[in-house]
Amino acid sequence: MGRPVQIRNQEQTSFYDRIVSALGTDLEEKSVVIRWIAWRLKLLYEIVEKFWWDNCFIFAASLAYTTLLAIAPLAAVSLSILTAFDISKATVLSFVFKRLLPNENLAVIIEKNIDTFSANAASVSIFGVVALVLFSVWVLSTIESAFNMIWKVDRPRPVISKFLAYWSTVTFAPILIAVSIIVTAKVQTLVLSEGWAEYSYLQSFTLKAIPYILTWIAFFLVYKLIPYTNVHFVPAFYGAVAGGVMFEMAKLFFDYYILNWASYTVIYGALAVIPIFLFWLYVAWLIVLLGSVIAYAIQYPKEIHSVKNEGFDRSRYLNYYALRLLVEASRAYLADEGALTPRDTQEKLEITAEFYDDILVKLKKLGIIEFVEGADDTFLLGRPPENILVADLLVNLNGKTLKASPEPVDSDRAALGRLFGAVEKSIKTGIDNLNLLELTRQLEKEHNASPVGLVKDRIEIA
């Protein structure tokens, strides 16, 4: 989905620069502890900044309203699937809402209403069932869009892939809930057995840890599976731990607030549950999105350190990463390994999905790579590596950067056109028709050589 362009004013920019300067000045001269603290503070600042500039507050509000509208159809679909298990509907609703909602009274009210909604949904026609499923899919699509925004994923999920992914989510999520209920009951029974009686402190710790563990698992699955990109295990794990802890802490504070400070019942009366529930959904989604931002920062530390809100100058790195990607494709070609996937290349290059897509699109336009039909973002070389000249790539990848504009036609344009032509010719002749095959073989021989060293015999510096 498109992202709005936001421009900071000079005062905001100065503040940002002062913060970064204060954290980054002469760190090499400081102690290890000071450097560790300074860089962690800087990372924390950049996480908060990304959270703000990615419009997570707006997305959280949108998701809160969407969840409020969707909770009934999602519950109806999920409970219909859970009928295959020997678990009562009341047990399922109690298990879910007591872990998702911060206050027991609020959980009871929501549970009662959802029970009524799901009972009404059971009497609808086949068309109503289809409508419930489609609405559930729409909700999942909205959630995925928010995560893709954080992970800078611009490419849409193919329709078939989207349907299968969402249908699997709607189908297997209730099964995971059922498994969680069964496992939790078994663990609680074991912990409360006589064999554990003499370890009362361990009993108490285990029973208190169960909600946290379940929350962490749920957050991990969300961060790992929802974004339409490859999220590594470790970033998803750390994001889940951070998000899970914040979620449980928020539940405690929210419960305390409702019991001691809230005056909603005085104002809204019986309808007080609606604003309370809506506000909690907003807080919960803020935490979920913040955990995803943390996972992104851990997976792409270079990106979050180097990308400022005023924009990432991709042209500075485009040629380099395009060559790196083509070298990987050339190696796969020579080893007869077939097509490459984003997992093979994007992970290794440590670049975002957005930047990765930009490179692929440009290479496809130049006819250097071809996408495999029916396989999402899987590609291979469009021709043998010996037929791909490195100079052609460097000259043409950024478009007509070495071409004079056709307008206006005057003496300056003619002179600059000749200059650009000379520069283009010097690039092509300077590396003596180096092709991708030769570059790949040289890289295999000199893994640690600098780019200049690889072609030092081919380039004549004036």
Q: Tell which residue, 326, 410, 313, has the closest CA to residue 362.
A: 326
CATH number of the structural domain spanning residue 436: 1.10.10.10
| Structural domain harbouring 367 | 314-454
Q: Give residue 405's pLDDT.
A: 58
Separation between Cα atoms, residue 379 and residue 369, nearest integer Å: 7
| Most confidently modeled range among 35-39, 106-110, 249-253 | 249-253
pLDDT at 102 over 50: yes
Residues 179 and 66 in one domain: yes
Reported for 262-266, long-range contacts at CB under 8 A and 24+ positions apart, including other chains, are: none
pLDDT band of residue 9 (cuts 50, 70, 90) is: very low
Residues 43 and 60 in one domain: no
Q: Give residue 15's pLDDT.
A: 46
Tell me if 240 is assigned to some domain: yes
pLDDT band of residue 292 (cuts 50, 70, 90) is: very high
pLDDT band of residue 73 (cuts 50, 70, 90) is: confident
Reported for 228-234, long-range contacts at CB under 8 A and 24+ positions apart, including other chains, are: 228/144, 228/148, 228/151, 228/153, 228/155, 228/157, 228/353, 229/148, 229/151, 229/153, 229/342, 229/346, 229/353, 230/342, 230/343, 230/346, 230/347, 231/151, 231/295, 231/299, 232/299, 232/347, 234/298
pLDDT tens digits for range 252-284? 888 877 777 666 666 666 677 778 888 888 999
* DSSP class per residue in 132-171: HHHHHHHHHHHHHHHHHHHTT--SPPPHHHHHHHHHHHHH
pLDDT at 98 over 80: no
pLDDT band of residue 462 (cuts 50, 70, 90) is: very low
Q: Give residue 239's pLDDT.
A: 93
Phi, psi (rounded to 5 degrees) for 156:
-80, 150
The residue from 305, 328, 354 where one domain ends is 305
Output the average pLDDT for the chain.
Answer: 73
Q: Give residue 290's pLDDT.
A: 95
Note the helical H segments in 8-125. Answer: 10-24, 32-53, 56-82, 89-100, 104-121
Residues 188 and 58 in one domain: yes
pLDDT at 4 over 70: no
| Most confidently modeled range among 65-74, 154-163, 418-427 | 65-74
Number of domains in the chain: 3
Residues 144 and 249 in one domain: yes
Q: Give residue 200's pLDDT.
A: 66
pLDDT band of residue 104 (cuts 50, 70, 90) is: confident
Residues 132 and 197 in one domain: yes
pTM for the whole structure: 0.65
What is the arithmetic mean of pLDDT over 415-442?
Answer: 74
Residues 321 and 351 in one domain: yes
pLDDT band of residue 243 (cuts 50, 70, 90) is: very high
Place of tokens 């790195």: 317
Tell me if 1 is assigned to some domain: no
Number of Cα atoms under 13 Å in the Cβ half of residue 433: 2
247 three-class SS: helix
Residues 140 and 274 in one domain: yes
| Most confidently modeled range among 30-34, 166-170, 398-402 | 166-170
Tell me if 459 is assigned to some domain: no
Place of tokens 């974004």: 227
Residues 90 and 222 in one domain: yes
Q: Give residue 16's pLDDT.
A: 46
The more confident residue out of 284 and 433 is 284
Tell me if 417 is assigned to some domain: yes
Return the percentage of the chain with pLDDT > 70, whole number: 66
Residues 44 and 92 in one domain: no
What is the arithmetic mean of pLDDT over 411-432?
Answer: 68
pLDDT at 95 over 90: no
Tell me if 127 is assigned to some domain: yes
Residues 255 and 344 in one domain: no
Residues 330 and 433 in one domain: yes
